[in-house]
Chain A
Amino acid sequence: NAGVTQTPKFQVLKTGQSMTLQCAQDMNHNSMYWYRQDPGMGLRLIYYSASEGTTDKGEVPNGYNVSRLNKREFSLRLESAAPSQTSVYFCASSDTGVYSPLHFGNGTRLTVT
């Protein structure tokens, strides 16, 4: 009963380095999301995928790219990390429908020095 699995759990990068955050869900959900969580700011949507093969920008997409590899997997890539991208990143998935709740992974804590 894994739900939404994110890897890695922790990561430290130097400014300018790149990395990919991985996310997979086993609930057969169509929609997947990437959020970042910063103190005092709640969760902000980075990118969203309504279904396999589609992606859309959210509130804070600059500096990020995403790939919806298949129905299960949705990755987030930082091409050139910046200290402003230090945050906790959450992947989530949901059924289709605006009233469907989101199911979250346990997060990736990223520090960019």
Chain B
Amino acid sequence: AQSVAQPEDQVNVAEGNPLTVKCTYSVSGNPYLFWYVQYPNRGLQFLLKYITGDNLVKGSYGFEAEFNKSQTSFHLKKPSALVSDSALYFCAVRDRLAGANNLFFGTGTRLTVIP
């Protein structure tokens, strides 16, 4: 069975500091991994994905994520946080062997960047 865990409901970081939003996953086979961001009263927006290859994936708005197979993690990172990064972040996983409808989302982490 597939699952995603985002262990932190809330992350606070000072503007200009590096940020990390954590995600761990569980799949039977090899995963496709995604990060999405949700701003208030909006739908989710795609940030980045890991399919294969380089473990460090770069995405939109300066975000990046590191795939770690041994720790089954896919943490979202940014070197220098902006106040405008404050939003709700979702990690999602799909088993490569599963059907296209089997995309599982974590429960979300609310990031607050403090000026």
Contacts and interface: CB of A to CB of B under 8 A. Distances in A.
Given A41-B107, A90-B44, 4 more contacts: A31-B100, A96-B100, A97-B100, A106-B43
List of 5 A-B pairs having minimum Cβ-Cβ separation, nearest first: A104-B43, A101-B46, A48-B101, A42-B105, A42-B107
B96 interface: yes
Contacts of B34: 101
Interface residues of B, number: 24
B101 A58 contact: yes
A43 B105 contact: yes
Given A40-B107, A45-B103, A106-B43, A101 B49 contact: yes
Contacts of A90: 43-44
A99 B106 CA distance: 17
Interface residues of A, number: 27
5 contacts: A42-B106, A101-B46, A102-B103, A103-B46, A105-B43
A19 to B, nearest CB: 20
Interface in A77-113: 90, 92, 94, 96-99, 101-107
A27 interface: no
A106 B43 CA distance: 4
A26 interface: no
Interface in B64-115: 90, 94, 96, 98-101, 103, 105-108
Contact of A42 (B43, B100, B108): B108
B87 to A, nearest CB: 14
Given A41-B107, A42-B106, A98 B90 contact: no
B44 A98 contact: no
